Amino acid sequence: MTRFVTHPYAILTIVALFWGGNAIAGKLAVGHVSPMLLTLLRWTFACLIMTPLAFQDVRREWPTIKRHLPFLFLLGAVGFTFFNAIFYLAMNYTSAINATIEQSAMPLVVFAANYVLFRTGVTVFQLLGFTLTLIGVLITAAHGELATLLALDLNRGDAMIIVAVLIYGGYTVALRFKPDINWRSTIYVLSLAALAASIPLAAAEWAMGYGQAPDLQGLSAALYTAIFPGLVAQILYIRGVTMIGPNRANLFINLVPIFGAMLAVGIVGEELHPYHLAALAFVLAGITLAELGAPRGTRPVERKPAPR
C-alpha cells in the first residue's frame, strides 16, 4: 500500500480511517473477548503476519537492532501494548463515538511535549487550532454537561481514554529517536515487543477471573485490529511522521472521530447526540486552522521515496 500512497495527507487520512475502525472493533469485542486477551491476540496475529515479510530484514539489520533493543522494546510496549490495552478496557465503559473524539487530544499532548523537550516552534493559528480541538474533547468527555466538567466527574471509560492518549502521545514524540532501520524491521520488532508485553497483562487478567476466551466475533475483531490499525496504520503513521513531523502528523488524528462517529452509527448503532456534533465541529475547525497555520517551508511535497 505504501508504494502507491505517497502524499502525507493521503497517508495520514488512511491512518485515521483505520484507527477510527479500531474503536468500533474494540466495542464489538465487548462480551466476546476480554480486553487484555484481545490485545494479546492482536499482536499475536500481527507477528504471524509480519514474520515471513520481515524476518530477512531483521536478520540483516540485527546489529543495529541489537544496539537499540531496549529502546525499541519500550516503544512497542508503550505505544502498541499499553495504549491498546487501556483503550480496549475503556470500551467496556464508554461509547465508540466518545473514544474517537477524545483521541483528538493527542496532538495537544505531542505539541506540549515537543515544546517542553525540544522547543519546537508553533504559530498563533496552530495554538488556536489546538484550543478548538481541546474544547471539542472536553465537550465530549463531559457529555455536553458543563457541570460534569466543572465537578471533574468523568465517566471511567472517558478517563481511561485520556490516559491512553497521553501514553500514545509520548510514543509519538519518542519516534524521532528510533534507529534508521527498514520499516518492516521496525514494525516487526515493535510488534514482537508488544506481544511480549501483552502476555503478563493477559495472564494477570485471567488469574483474577476477568479473562474471557474469544468466540468468532472476538477473533474477527482481533484479526481486524491486527491487520488494519495494528500493521497497516502503524506503518503509514511512522511514514507520515517522518514526512511532515509529529506536530503536523498528529493533527490528522483529529479525523479519527469523524470516521469513528460514522462507523459507530452505521455499524454499532450508537446514537449521535447534539454535543457530539458540536465537538466534531470544533475538531474539524481545529485541524483546519492548525494546518493552515503550519510554519512556512514545512508543507509536504507531492512525492516522497517509499519506505525501504
Tens-digit pLDDT profile for residues 70-95? 999 999 999 999 999 999 999 999 88
- What pLDDT shows up at residue 225? 93
For residue 303, is pLDDT > 60?
no
- What pLDDT shows up at residue 298? 45
Look at the chain and report how many structural domains it folds into. Answer: 1
- What pLDDT shows up at residue 307? 34
Give the pLDDT band of residue 127 (cuts 50, 70, 90).
Answer: confident
User: What value does the mean pLDDT take over residues 50-63?
Assistant: 94
For residue 256, is pLDDT > 50?
yes
Say if residue 299 is exposed, middle or buried (CB neighbours under 10 Å; 0-12, 13-18, 19+).
Answer: exposed
Give the pLDDT band of residue 154 (cuts 50, 70, 90).
Answer: low
For residue 306, is pLDDT > 50?
no
- What pLDDT shows up at residue 295? 59
DSSP collapsed to 3 states, the chain = CCCCCCCHHHHHHHHHHHHHHHHHHHHHHCCCCCHHHHHHHHHHHHHHHHHHHHHHHHHHCHHHHHHCHHHHHHHHHHHHHHHHHHHHHHCCCCCHHHHHHHHHHHHHHHHHHHHHHHCCCCCHHHHHHHHHHHHHHHHHHCCCCHHHHHCCCCCHHHHHHHHHHHHHHHHHHHHHHCCCCCHHHHHHHHHHHHHHHHHHHHHHHHHCCCCCCCCHHHHHHHHHHHHHHHHHHHHHHHHHHHHHCHHHHHHHHHHHHHHHHHHHHHHHCCCCCHHHHHHHHHHHHHHHHHHHCCCCCCCCCCCCCCCC
Task: Judge whether 62 lies within some domain.
Answer: yes
Find the domain containing 239 and state its range: 8-292
- What pLDDT shows up at residue 113? 83
User: What value does the mean pLDDT take over residues 21-34?
Assistant: 93
Task: Judge whether 302 lies within some domain.
Answer: no
User: Closest Cα to residue 194, out of 88, 91, 79?
Assistant: 79
Task: Judge whether 306 lies within some domain.
Answer: no
Task: Judge whether 19 lies within some domain.
Answer: yes
pTM of the model: 0.80
What's the DSSP call for residue 226?
I
In whole angstroms, what separates CA 41 from the centre of its chain?
18
For residue 299, is pLDDT > 50?
no
Question: Is the CA virtual torsion 232, 170, 33, 207 positive or negative?
Answer: positive
User: What value does the mean pLDDT take over residues 282-289?
Assistant: 78
Task: Judge whether 85 lies within some domain.
Answer: yes
Task: Judge whether 155 lies within some domain.
Answer: yes
- What pLDDT shows up at residue 4? 45
Q: 305 or 278: which carries more pLDDT confidence?
A: 278
Task: Judge whether 298 lies within some domain.
Answer: no
Give the pLDDT band of residue 58 (cuts 50, 70, 90).
Answer: very high
User: What value does the mean pLDDT take over residues 299-308?
Assistant: 37
Task: Judge whether 2 lies within some domain.
Answer: no
Residues 250 and 126 sit within 8 Å (Cβ to Cβ): no
For residue 249, is pLDDT > 60?
yes
Q: Mean pLDDT check: name the lowest of 13-17, 29-33, 69-73, 80-84.
A: 13-17
